Structure 1
């Protein structure tokens, strides 16, 4: 099936046209609505995308939508009711869902006869059991305001877990994997038989691992203290924890390559940031080994996970007693399997491909079910 995948951000549109598993075209429209940008608005941006690719025989458009709430657990054909549901979820994802809605609206207008399918970042985590998504707060408040763990990066975790099983030569249904998506945003996921059973991000993408500019887990009292004692407004606190925390907050840099260089030069702030980053990873690996009752593999992916051997080594250092041993030479070479011979848990490096996963889910959603015999 020929599928156009769209990832619409507040000021950008990333696109990729698939014909089966082959990529026919891809590109990025940036700085939408900005002086000197590639397009004046999302309508113009989408029109430029349509003009730049061959739409003959197009079977579907797949849209990345960050937040599907509790309602959407799989790829969903878009109609007016689905659009309204995504709009209703804007309070949970005010930075991400509105641009996706713009992309959906324009694509439906420009391609009215082509099926449009939403693929949600949160959908993969709908399989997490109730005790893994509930917060121990007032149940009435939680229900009224939709407060629970949702998790994100679902398309990446789904893709990487399946590719890891293939790398191991095992059926995905019989494989336990801890996937570590480490980019500027970062999350961990415990996958049991192709189903997410735990993930580090929570109600928002702010929770969990230390990230480029996001704090990850912290005591909620930090927020109260900054508001009551330091006198910061809630907006200032939110901005600090999302834009000036994580590696950025600890060092003034959010790029792990820069932090590595500074660490190698003996910079104390960079050394501390690196150590905090890797300790948090190790803590989640240990937690998810317990949740899964052991794992067949631990897989690193995304920008940092795929390209920074020092992080991979430090995050798993000292875990030989749990059957996890990284081979330093394989790790330095960036091989797909970097664990030592005899390691009970295989350690992998797999390049993620969220667009390919979106296309796969779109095709699966639209393919007719086989006739019953």
Structure 2
């Protein structure tokens, strides 16, 4: 799929949408026009490149000034960068670390550079926000040469989202980018992050987006010797094990039903044991991760939930917070239940650390960082 947004200079107006089911007869673009009208466009069998060309042709009428690309893995790049041949090479070099994502980003970059050769284009990296992690947080306890020669280390992801929601929550709390915050980005991909004075100090994802908490179809943390066990006893290849951990595990694997939290909450209410277990494991492992990350903070001022599950599931928020009484995280059931479908608000009862629900705005953050890079060129 391809997510897109065209955002005005002051981030007040936007056109946005999603190209989905690419490569199939059902390929389509769904979105919202500048006037707020729904848009649906059938593009049968279109691949990423064709979908991008269709999208960009429609958006060209609005005279875009710059293009920002979300890039999942930027290796050790520490900030958004103007796309030059050197930066494109750095993205290509990081492809072994994000084989599912970076090749698609490169297709998008090539297409936009071909269609808009005169526009400045900027790469905004998921990993860049986490480059402020101290070495004791990002190093694995492995032989040194794996790090020095092969760059085996923890990188972290969802940086654009964690940066946006912790900045927003701290601003709402009255001290923008000040103090200690825990962030839980919960969707089909999920991760947690510890942020101090606007800088990432630790995060749950590692060298790849498979490490960390339970996700929609990803396992999160497992014993590394599981690979050896499955290869030796079941004859599984490395590729089959990797596919299982990324595409057949998580909520889907535990429940045997679905990777969609809404489906699982409904099924659990109807007595589905697999769904009930999947939700419990998800919330427990999430609370465990937040507890662990808190070690990196001098103090805890607040917790912020975001992402599709974090923003919309009061049930998941409640179950997770129930595992964290020792942090003094006291919440109002009434306030918690009132927040869903993109609403922003505070759900704590006024004692202890603040608890916020903040809808993420990765596109807005990408637009902001893109503008900052372009302004530096002037």
Structure 2: where are the runs of 5+ without partners? 28-42
| Alignment match of 2:72 (pick from 66, 87, 95) | 66
Q: Secondary structure at the match of 1:358?
A: helix
User: Which residue in 2 is equivalent to 1:258?
Assistant: 263
Alignment root-mean-square deviation, CA: 1.7
Q: Secondary structure at the match of 1:341?
A: coil
Distance 1:353 1:257 in 2: 21
Quickly say closer, same or farther: Cα 1:136–1:53, change in 2 above 3 A: same
Distance 2:103 2:131 in 1: 22
Does the 8 Å CA contact 1:124/1:195 hold for their aligned counterparts? yes
Does the 8 Å CA contact 1:184/1:211 hold for their aligned counterparts? yes
Distance 1:52 1:311 in 2: 39
| Alignment match of 1:353 (pick from 358, 361, 364) | 361
User: Which residue in 1 is equivalent to 2:24?
Assistant: 34
Distance 1:283 1:319 in 2: 9
User: Which residue in 2 is equivalent to 1:7?
Assistant: none
Distance 2:280 2:26 in 1: 41
Distance 1:284 1:40 in 2: 40
Does the 8 Å CA contact 1:302/1:352 hold for their aligned counterparts? yes
Query: Which stretch shifts more, 41-50 or 352-361?
Result: 41-50
1:1-373 maps to which residues of 2 (within 5 A)?
12-20=1-9, 21-37=11-27, 38=43, 40-70=46-76, 72-172=77-177, 174-252=178-256, 253-334=258-339, 336-342=345-351, 344-368=352-376
Does the 8 Å CA contact 1:42/1:106 hold for their aligned counterparts? no
Does the 8 Å CA contact 1:121/1:154 hold for their aligned counterparts? yes
Quickly say closer, same or farther: Cα 1:31–1:325, change in 2 above 3 A: same
Q: Secondary structure at the match of 1:59?
A: coil
What is the TM-score of this pair, normalised by structure 2?
A: 0.90
Q: Secondary structure at the match of 1:190?
A: strand
Does the 8 Å CA contact 1:16/1:23 hold for their aligned counterparts? no
Query: Which stretch shifts more, 259-268 or 231-240?
Result: 259-268
Query: Which stretch shifts more, 234-243 or 20-29?
Result: 20-29
Does the 8 Å CA contact 2:188/2:259 hold for their aligned counterparts? yes
Does the 8 Å CA contact 1:62/1:358 hold for their aligned counterparts? yes
Does the 8 Å CA contact 2:180/2:298 hold for their aligned counterparts? no
Distance 1:42 1:322 in 2: 45
What is the TM-score of this pair, normalised by structure 1?
A: 0.91
Distance 1:45 1:164 in 2: 35
Q: Secondary structure at the match of 1:340?
A: coil
Q: How far has the Cα of 1:216 moved from its partner?
A: 0.4
Deviations 1:19-68 (A, max 9, x none): 11123422323333434532634443222122212455422100111100
Distance 1:369 1:31 in 2: 38
Does the 8 Å CA contact 2:213/2:286 hold for their aligned counterparts? yes
Query: Which stretch shifts more, 188-197 or 39-48?
Result: 39-48
Does the 8 Å CA contact 1:319/1:325 hold for their aligned counterparts? no
Q: How far has the Cα of 1:262 moved from its partner?
A: 2.0
Q: Secondary structure at the match of 1:275?
A: helix
Q: How far has the Cα of 1:266 moved from its partner?
A: 2.5
Q: How far has the Cα of 1:321 moved from its partner?
A: 3.3
Does the 8 Å CA contact 2:179/2:299 hold for their aligned counterparts? no
Distance 1:263 1:36 in 2: 31
Structure 1: where are the runs of 5+ without partners? 1-11
